[in-house]
Amino acid sequence: MESPPDDSASARSVTAGFLAEHCPWADPAAVQLVVTELTANALQHTAGWWRLRLRAEDDEFTVELDDSSTRLPEARVPDFGGRGGFGWPMVLRLAGRVEVRRHARGKTVRAVWSRPAIAADPAAA
């Protein structure tokens, strides 16, 4: 699914609906925090376009955010005075896997969650 939201709140809403319909096993709070951070960064740090893509497969859920900036995300020392630095570490902790790739038109940040394994029922053994 490709989404044309114009702000972080719209992106969260689209993501919540997508998760409920296609990927109920994913942690909606974690996914929505990651989507919020990625879209907020795109809005703040790019002057051009950005695009959110969501994909659910049998065992994985993927969020991809493409934007027009080639500047890669970087970890900064968190600033309690209001200058940020909390978001990128949060993305790295909440997603199972994070990949960043530059391309000719900007970059893509991909966050992937794997479906949790279902514990075997010891009584069934």
Which one is predicted more confidently, 78 or 64?
64
Residue 3 has a pLDDT of 43
**pLDDT tier at 74 (50, 70, 90 boundaries)?**
confident
pLDDT(24) > 50: yes
Give tens-digit pLDDT for 79-107.
677 666 678 899 999 999 999 999 999 99
Question: Token digits for 52?
Answer: 């959110």
Quick check: 31 and 61 in contact, CB under 8 A? yes
Residue 113 has a pLDDT of 97
Contacts for 57 with CB less than 8 Å, ≥ 6 apart:
none
Residue 2 has a pLDDT of 47
Phi, psi dihedral angles at 111 (to 5 degrees)? -115, 130
Residue 124 has a pLDDT of 57
Beta bridge partners of 58: none
Residue 123 has a pLDDT of 62
pLDDT(120) > 70: no
Which of these, 95, 94, 90, lies nearest to 75 by C-alpha position? 90
- Listed in sequence order, the DSSP H helices in the chain are 8-22, 28-45, 87-94
DSSP assignment letter at 116 = P
Give tens-digit pLDDT for 35-71.
999 998 888 888 888 999 999 999 999 999 999 999 8
Which of these, 68, 71, 54, lies nearest to 17 by C-alpha position? 54
